[in-house]
Structure 1
Amino acid sequence: MERLYRKLEEYSRADYYPFHMPGHKRNSASVRGEFPLERDITEIEGFDNLHHPEDLLLEAQQNVAKLYGTRESFYSVNGSTAALLAAISAAVPRNGQILVARNCHKAVYHAIYLRNLKPAYIYPQMDSEWWINGGIFPDKVERCLAENPEIQAVLITSPTYDGVVSDVKEIAEIAHKYGVPLIVDEAHGAHFHFSNYFPASAAELGADLVIQSFHKTLPAMTQTAVLHNCSNRVDSRLIRRFMGIYQTSSPSYILMASIDACMDTMVAEGKQMFRDFTRILEQTRKRLSVCKYIRLVDPVKGKNGVFDYDRSKLVFSTRASLLSGSDLYHILLDRYHIQMEMESENYVLAIASVGDREEGFERLCQAIEELDQEQADLIKAGIPAEENKKLDTRSMHFVLTQMMSMADAMEAPTEKCPLEESIGRISAEFAYLYPPGIPLITPGEQITGQFIRNMRIYMDKGLYLQGLEDYTNKTILVVEQQPQSTKEQDEEIHG
């Protein structure tokens, strides 16, 4: 079997002269810095074409499908973002309706905008002990589908950024009962397939389209992802069409070779690599589970919609300490030179993967143990905690009223409005906490006092807000108010 990554390595040592793109011509003297220019090619003879695969790239994608046990798999060098856009576009016709979990990635909302879809939302249960999103209850999905017969697909995120897994099997059965496909954003679960230590993959549980980011949890380069087609409920021709639309016409062979090499590694060495990884991961979790103030999050299965949990997500709660999540994040970075994945108001997240080394786990354990002891000493000495505004768990997923479609709001005339004066206006832009990129508000929704209060708390905590055109977050774009006609004003006054 010819492997893309090996052929690329061989070609980089050959004497072919490149009178073709890219412009660096595989000449390191033409570029400052060190880059793998010798392997950076375009669609040349013998290397196939991702948008019309016939041999090398066709076989590479078939190898992914064979390994994961799916009908077919598609490379994405534009990450899970392109795969999500393509999956939604293929599953739901323009102007159609889709049921989505509100805690989905911003790419889902971009697809809703691009296809002018009408979304219905399901809100995950909040875990009040750990202040993380729980799972999606299957009965909520069934209720929404029963009440909205026009819905044409269901989309959930499982696992979440924090590792919570929903009951995909039951949700898939419910979706199919109502004749619609289930799309699962499993961007953070590409590793599930390779060890029984982790939850089962959605691709094995009845989901129709499953999106996975290889670069998040497997040894592959940034931007590498796949879209698995697991059934015949979504037309393969439409998937190919939209993957061609949402991906660059000049896909990186370095990235595609990274996917191919990752799959070859998993076939040859994956079992042993994951045995070693899960052994040290479980030792780390057991060691850190005794910390009393910097607490390792371990959601209870069967509560708050938590069907299962990805134990490679090391989430450290600060709620029992004098620290905020932001405090802990920056202490780990500045004092211990440990870069965590993300910070939130009350926790930080570390993502562990098969690429980690024992030295890294040891450094993390020592840092958390030291900080936990420091917190114990401070609390014993009676050091008071700072007065902090806290989010109420009931406000974490407050429901906003959709006044206009997302597309209409984004394309309507807009004006800037001071955030504090925007209550009652219709938002014309997104506001996200990033990472993970889950919208606090979407275009077309009415701004409320609760939304503004939460925004202020997040900003006071130093959390990273994105989406607003005004990077200072002092103003928000709203749909321009149309002046009332004389007749309308007269009717309001006189009835």
Structure 2
Amino acid sequence: MEITRRLFSYSNAISLHVPGHHGYSIGSLQLPIHHDMTEITGLDDYHHAEEVIADSQRNLSRSEQYEARYLVNGTTVGILSVIYAHKKKSHKKVAIMRNAHKSVFNALDLTGTEAIILPMTVSDKINQYVGIDELNIKAKPELDDVDIAVLTYPNYYGETFDIKGAIDFFHGQGIEVLVDEAHGAHFDISPQFPTSSLNDGADYIVQSYHKTLPALTMGSVIHMNKNSLLLKEVYDYLAILQTSSPSYLILSSLEQAHEFYSHYNDEVFHEKRQALLHALRHFEVIEVQDPLKVVLKKSGYSGEELKTLLEEQEIYIELSNYDSILLVLPLWHEGDTYPFNELLRRLKRIGLEDREPLELPHPLNVNEGVYSPVKGGYQEVLLEEGVGQRVYHALIPYPPGIPYVLPGERLSEAHVKVLSAYQNVHGIIDGKITIIDER
């Protein structure tokens, strides 16, 4: 009962993190446990939908140009299915952004597919990857061997780039586009929010409804252009890679989240957001294009220190990094039960002192490159002992789940310094990493 006891210990917590229902306080989810059902008469079959699930998915579509499908294994399975479908029909490479989620790299490894890493731009505000450097990819001969590109839009922190220009560029090269819009399921919810790549002709779009809309974790949606080349194959792999016992609670939560999205009024959200930003004025508040995301800094404080200060008040945030933390705000609305006034009271208790600025972290690699699945043997070494060695398993701070050091790349002392600031890094177990055995 360890997990159960730990979950109950958060009964007084205030959520500034995913999932989008924020402790059941946003939306009006109706998910009684007796709705945890199976494919009995009248409930349809998720993997052979002809009745209520088929009707629900038709209503889910946000554009006549697209077909929509519920995902009960998260956005990850949508990404895996598209890349598996690509591999089935093509021997060409995939173009990816350096801030691709680890599921993209897992898909490349599983299918034995090589990828072209696109040159990147970095945000001036928060020193994170944002978009592709289009000036440095035009007329690249490497793209002649690519027939699908995977773009991350927005980035984890809510920053956007010219996604339409990028899609148009790749389409002009005869390259299809998969957009990982995991953090943009709420885009287009009102004119004050960024627009979705659904408006820009992407071929495949995956959205994590559960991250920003009131749906259960693992609940996502894939939108597929009706003219996409891999439509049938993607459907086939969705049936193979997803559970044969889909959760009707997740399906119902997705349907309810879509209803919430379709009828949302953002007036209360913006009022509360402004009140929150005022309460956070003793931090350095960084606003990005997506109003649902807020980045906080304070000179001289590490992200982990800021996270701890909030957690002492039982306020839980999405992530901390080297020198900042990320808040994911709720989609507040009339009648929500989110403890907003209590949040403001707790924030007033936090004291911050003046400090000397931290040394700037290692600059991000913005150059293009090639990713190939790593083969051969490996050995375990302590993180610090790996400096100068090529890593075998990616080193991935989680969240956000974006590899900081890719397999095959050499670990530097600067990498170690930044990675040491994270509490949870996939690829580091008991202080050890794996390096390619080049003996």
| TM class by smaller structure | 0.7 to 0.9
Q: Does 1:76 align with 2:76?
A: no
Counterparts of 1:463 and 1:214, CA distance in 2: 26
The 5-angstrom pairing of residues 87-486 of structure 1 reads 87-92=82-87, 93=89, 95-144=91-140, 146-267=141-262, 270-272=263-265, 274-285=266-277, 287=278, 291=281, 294-299=283-288, 309-318=289-298, 321-334=299-312, 336-354=313-331, 360-365=339-344, 371=350, 374-375=351-352, 378-379=353-354, 384-385=355-356, 388-392=358-362, 395-397=363-365, 405-406=372-373, 408-409=374-375, 412-443=376-407, 445-449=408-412, 452-459=413-420, 461-468=421-428, 471-473=429-431, 475-481=432-438
Q: Is the 8 A contact 2:119 2:137 kept in 1?
A: no
Evaluate the alpha carbon distance shift between residue 122 and residue 283 of structure 1 in structure 2; reply closer, same or farther with a 3 A threshold: farther
Whichever residue aligns with residue 294 of structure 2, its letter is L
Shift of 1:121: 1.0
- Provide the rounded CA distance (Å) in 1 between the counterparts of 2:232 and 2:360: 49
Q: For residues 326 and 143 of structure 1, what CA distance do their matches in structure 2 show?
A: 43
Q: Distance in 2 between matches of 1:216 and 1:271?
A: 16
Looking at structure 2, the residues matched to 148 and 345 of structure 1 have their Cα atoms a distance apart, in angstroms, of: 34
**What do the CA deviations read for 1:166-201 (whole angstroms, capped 9, x no partner)?**
211111110110011111111111111221110111
Q: Does structure 1 retain, via aligned residues, the 8 Å contact 2:292–2:331?
A: no
Q: Residue type matched to 1:103 in 2?
A: N
Give unpaired runs (5+ residues) of structure 1: 1-34, 300-308, 483-495
Farther off after superposition, 418-427 or 209-218? 418-427
Contact preservation (8 Å) 1:94, 1:117: no
The question of whether the paired residues in 1 share the 8 Å contact of 2:182 and 2:211 is answered with: yes
Give the residue type in structure 2 aligned to 1:323. Answer: Y
Task: From the CA coordinates, give the structure whose radius of gyration is larger.
Answer: 1
CA distance in 2, matches of 1:446, 1:436: 20
Equivalent residue number for residue 39 of structure 2: 43
Distance 1:344 1:143, change over 3 A: farther
- Confirm or deny: 8 A CA contact 1:288 1:296 kept in the other structure: no
Deviation, 1:385, is 3.5
Question: CA separation of 1:365/1:95 partners in 2, compared to 1, >3 Å: closer, same or farther?
Answer: farther
SS state at 2:287 partner: coil
Q: How many Å separate the matches in 1 of 2:191 and 2:34?
A: 39
With over 3 angstroms needed to count, the CA separation of the structure-2 counterparts of 1:173 and 1:282, relative to structure 1, is: farther
Contact 2:121–2:366 under 8 Å retained in 1:
no
How far apart in 2 are the matches of 1:401 and 1:178?
Answer: 19
Inter-partner Cα distance in structure 1 for 2:395 and 2:65? 36
Report the AA paired with residue 416 of structure 1: E
Distance 1:438 1:332 in 2: 24
More helix by share: 1
The structure whose RCO (Cα within 8 Å, separation 6+) is larger is: 2
The one-letter amino acid of 2:309's match is I
TM-score (norm 1): 0.75
Hey, what's the Cα distance between the residues in 1 that align with 2:133 and 2:182? 20
Cα deviation for residue 271 of structure 1 reads: 3.3
Supply the distance in 2 between the matched residues of 1:211 and 1:105 (Cα, whole angstroms): 12
Q: Which amino acid aligns with 1:326?
A: E
Contact 1:77 / 1:256 at 8 angstroms: preserved in 2? Answer: yes
Task: Report SS of the residue matched to 1:149.
Answer: helix
CA-CA distance at 1:96 after TM superposition: 2.9
Correspondence for 1:7? none
Identity of aligned residues (%): 26
Q: Secondary structure at the match of 2:47?
A: coil
Q: Deviations over 1:285-325 (max 9, x none)?
A: 4x368x3x5111135xxxxxxxxx1111011122xx23221
C-alpha RMSD over aligned residues: 2.7
Instruction: Trace 1:6-45 onto structure 2 (pairs within 5 A).
Output: 36-45=32-41
What residue identity is the alignment partner of 1:118?
Answer: E
Report the residue type matching 2:297 in the other structure: S
Mapped contact 1:401–1:446 kept (Cα < 8 A) = no
State the shift of 1:48 in Å: 1.3
- The one-letter code sitting in structure 1 at the alignment partner of 2:434 is L
One-letter amino acid of the counterpart of residue 297, structure 1: I
Secondary structure at the residue paired with 1:226? strand
Q: Give deviations 1:262-301, integer Å, cap 9, x for gaps.
A: 223444xx233x333234334544x368x3x5111135xx
| Alignment check: 8 A CA contact 1:142 1:175 kept | no
Partners of 1:108 and 1:343 lie apart in 2 by 23
CA contact (8 A) 2:97 2:152 kept: yes
Contact 1:90 1:234 in 2 (8 A): no
Residues 95 and 116 of structure 1 are in contact (CA less than 8 Å); yes or no, is this contact kept in structure 2?
no
Instruction: Tell me the distance in 1 between the aligned counterparts of 2:386 and 2:368.
Output: 14
Letter in 2 for 1:341: E
Partner of 2:7: none
- Measure the CA separation in 2 of the matches of 1:80 and 1:239: 13
Provide closer, same or farther for how the CA distance between residues 362 and 314 of structure 1 changes in structure 2, counting only shifts above 3 A. Answer: farther
1:62 aligned counterpart, secondary structure: helix
The alignment covers a number of residue pairs equal to 406
Query: Secondary structure of the equivalent of 2:239?
Result: helix
Change in Cα spacing, 1:176 to 1:59, as seen in structure 2 (3 Å) is same
SS at match of 2:131: coil
1:61 corresponds to 2:19: no
Listed as ranges, the gaps of 5+ residues in structure 2 are 1-30
| 1:344-399 C-alpha deviation (Å, 9 max, x unpaired) | 1111111113257586444555555664xx44xx43xxxx548x55413xx32266
SS of the equivalent of 1:277 reads helix
